[in-house]
């Protein structure tokens, strides 16, 4: 059964020289949860004037899922729907979403996730080649604007504890641009792209 929630999320880029220090500080305050090596095919597009962020993704443990996020790409309170799929269905879903002619790229991320010791908050330390960033998030089920803003302020306070500030839209766009240029690769749905994607998954699952 799919889950529909509102994801409250803030992120900040981490200078590589500060990553180890920030990770030690997080470990002292949060419970270590998991390490995730993941390949995702990202589709970004607009339907009925609404932005959609769709990801078909799989990790090194052969866990696969489709994630749909609805709302402006840089905002902190998009709605999120997650559906688990079988690993062998991965390429079938990629082909379906590729037919939408959305902008698309392939991403690989290594992520350490930590769970709050006191409340339902998750921190992700993400490594993408030469680029590193942190995400703090909480998933809630509400349409209450005041509660959403309060949650956002709480997450901003967590970033502040590590000497970081949430990135704004321009900084987010710049981060995405650099990730595309230096780490990710554009997916067009060509035969060569599917061959390359198959190699990515084989290296992930070996």
> Is the CB of residue 182 less than 8 Å from the CB of residue 127?
no
> Distance (Å, rounded) from C-alpha 200 to C-alpha 25?
33
Give the C-alpha separation, 39 to 52, whole Å. Answer: 19
Q: Which DSSP helix (H) or strand (E) runs through 118?
A: none
- pLDDT given at position 2: 45
Across the chain, what does the average pLDDT equal?
A: 90
Evaluate whether 114 touches 30 at the Cβ level (below 8 Å): yes
Instruction: Give the residue from 6, 30, 15 showing the smallest Cα distance to 163.
Output: 15
- C-alpha 93/C-alpha 108 separation (Å) is 18
| 3 has pLDDT over 60 | no
pTM for this one? 0.85
85-128, pLDDT tens digit by residue? Answer: 999 999 999 999 999 999 999 999 999 999 887 667 899 999 99
């Amino acid at each position: 059964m799919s889950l529909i929630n509102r994801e409250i999320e803030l992120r900040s880029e981490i200078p590589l020289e500060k990553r180890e220090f920030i990770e030690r500080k997080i470990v002292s305050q949060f419970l270590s949860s998991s390490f995730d090596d993941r390949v995702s095919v990202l589709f970004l597009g607009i339907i009925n004037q609404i932005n959609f962020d769709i990801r078909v993704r799989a990790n090194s443990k052969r866990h696969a899922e489709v994630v749909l996020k609805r709302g402006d790409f840089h905002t902190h309170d998009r709605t999120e729907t997650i559906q688990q799929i079988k690993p062998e269905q991965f390429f079938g879903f990629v082909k379906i979403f590729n037919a939408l002619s959305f902008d698309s790229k392939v991403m690989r991320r290594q992520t350490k996730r930590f769970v709050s010791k006191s409340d339902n908050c998750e921190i992700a330390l993400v490594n993408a080649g030469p680029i590193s960033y942190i995400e703090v998030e909480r998933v809630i089920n509400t349409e209450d604007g005041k509660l959403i803003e309060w949650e956002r302020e709480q997450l901003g306070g967590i970033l502040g504890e590590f000497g970081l500030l949430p990135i704004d839209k321009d900084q987010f766009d710049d981060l995405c641009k650099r990730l595309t240029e230096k780490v990710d690769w554009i997916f067009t749905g060509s035969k060569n792209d599917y061959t390359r994607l198959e190699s990515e998954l084989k290296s992930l699952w070996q």
